[in-house]
Amino acid sequence: MAIATGGGAGLAAGYDAALARLDLGARWLIVACTAAMIVVVSVQVALRYLLNTSIDWSDEVSRLLFVWCMFLAIPLGIREGSHVGVELLVQFVPAAPRRQLARLCTLAAIGMMAVVLWQTVRIAADTWDELMPTLSISANWFLVPVAVSAVHSVLHLVPLLWREPARRIATMTE
């Protein structure tokens, strides 16, 4: 699906290809984080119940990996059009105004992602020296995936100003 037609089709195809590669990287990072989280939690449980000992940092690492997984997945949901939406009133709006309403909502979402990114960067810059209790790394590594997600989400939202999501989820009324 191209963002635009005519002379911009090549640019749109390049944008789509680059975004598809970014999405693939995000998917593999989610798989890696999930696998690492499973290993850390499993080893922690085994050590606790079999050897009556534990890994001090397992809780923080597993939480950090979980946060990365969740925020990396948000833009992928935007791409697929699979985030939850309330369509109680929208379903009664005629098609042309509904498309305009969708564009307006997309602009609002882009604005929200810009605010999220701005505030995340501000908070991280002010508090980067705060360390996690059991690790010698900044507690703000929990904020990095928020910023990454905001940027990646905007990259998926911008094309939605001109087209539908890659895969539209069927509603209960269809």
Q: Which tens digit of pLDDT belongs to each residue from 40-58?
A: 999 999 999 999 999 999 9
pTM assigned to the model:
0.83
170 occurs within a structural domain: no
In a domain, 166, yes or no: no
Average pLDDT over residues 168-172: 49
Identity of the residue numbered 128: W
> Domain tally for the chain?
1
112-152 residue pLDDT tens: 999 999 999 999 999 999 999 999 999 999 999 999 999 99
Give the pLDDT confidence score for residue 30 in this predicted structure.
Answer: 98
Q: Is residue 74 part of a domain?
A: yes
- Please answer whether residues 64 and 141 qualify as being in contact, where contact means their C-beta atoms are separated by less than 8 angstroms: yes
Give me the torsion for CA of 149, 167, 23, 137, rounded to 10°. Answer: 30
Buried-state track 105-137, b at ≥16 Cβ within 10 A, e below 16: ebeebbeebeebbeebeeebeeeeeeebeeeee
Q: Is residue 173 part of a domain?
A: no
Asked if residue 1 is part of any domain, the answer here is no
Give the range of the structural domain holding residue 131, as residue numbers without chain letter.
6-161
